[in-house]
Copies of this chain bind each other. A is one copy, B any other.
Amino acid sequence: MNSPFILINFKTYREGTGYGADRIARAASAVMEDTGVTIGIAPPYTDLRKMARHFSIPIFAQHIDGVGAGGFTGHTPAYMMKLEGATGSLINHSERRLTLADIEASLTAAEAEGLTSIICTNNIRTTAAAAALGPDYVAIEPPELIGSGISVAQADPEIIAGSVKAALKQNNQVKVLAGAGIQSGDCVRISLDLGCSGVLLASSVVKAEDPEAVLLDLVSKI
């Protein structure tokens, strides 16, 4: 994944389940094929298997637990997400915050299963800490902008630039994604210019009338 990476989080939106999930995955797959930009999806746990069978794009779990097989009722261990066909996982999304100890356990479990890891963070300092853990990606998402319709790239470029700088200072291998309010090719362009390797977004694609059109716009200025 050296080209820019766009990851679409389906959350638990109704538009991201069942046929809706197919529709978005098809759009992602088509745009990835046409443009060469890597576009991944993070569907609900229950759609991972179907997505992994039908689409040759990165498939992420929305959360993994750093536990193994055993007595963990209601959990989603990394090994199980891998069995379903996931190629990676979000860890510590702002809607599923974890203790530092659990973030590390989830990351170690992801590595053991060969899953690409993305640790989500809320500010520059936590981005530095997450980078020090050594994941593949850190995704910086200012909580106050998530789902706000206001793009972090336009409203707070300093937090993106500061996060990239802080992350690389701790770990020069880590890649940074920008998230929160990302909705257009301009947002993507600004994020890349500020040193990011891509973006993490959700509603602007998942709830779009025409997801393919939104994705084409997102990649248009790369």
Given A46-B49, A95-B75, A129-B132, decide whether A67 and B12 contact each other with a Cβ distance below 8 A. Answer: yes
Question: Distance (Å) between the CB of A130 and the closest chain B CB?
Answer: 7
Indicate which residue in B11, B14, B70, B126 contacts A11 across the interface (CB closer than 8 Å): B70
Among A90, A126, A132, find the residue whose CB has the most chain B CB atoms closer than 10 A.
Answer: A132
Do B71 and A147 touch across chains, with their CB atoms under 8 A apart?
A: yes
B100–A130 CB distance below 8 A: yes
Residues of B within 8 A of A71 (CB): 11-13, 95, 146-147, 202-203
Whole-angstrom CA separation of A174 from B26 in the bound complex? 46
Q: Which of A48, A125, A202 has the most CB of B within 10 A?
A: A125
How many residues in A have their beta carbons less than 8 Å from beta carbons of B? 62
Interface residues in A79-136 by Cβ distance below 8 A to B read 79-80, 83-84, 90, 92-101, 103-104, 107-108, 121-123, 125-126, 128-134
Whether A9 sits at the interface, judged by CB under 8 Å, is yes
Q: How far is the CB of A208 from chain B (nearest CB, A)?
A: 16
- Asked whether A121 and B95 contact (CB < 8 A) given A17-B80, A63-B74, the answer is no
Is residue A155 contacting chain B, with contact meaning CB distance below 8 A?
A: no
| Cα A118 to Cα B43 with chains together (Å) | 27
Within 8 A of B (CB), among A1-37: 9, 11-14, 17-18
Contact of A125 among B17, B49, B69, B134 (CB under 8 A): B134
Type the 1/0 row for A31-59, where 1 means its CB is closer than 8 Å to any CB of B: 00000000000101110110000000000
A62 in contact with B73 (CB, 8 Å): yes
A143 to chain B, nearest CB (A): 8
B93 touches A97 (CB 8 A): no
A72 lies within 8 A of B128 (CB): no
- Between A and B, 5 residue pairs with Cβ closer than 8 Å are A11-B72, A62-B73, A97-B100, A104-B129, A126-B133
Pick the 10 closest A-B CB pairs, nearest first: A63-B74, A74-B96, A132-B132, A14-B69, A73-B95, A62-B74, A129-B129, A73-B93, A97-B99, A128-B132
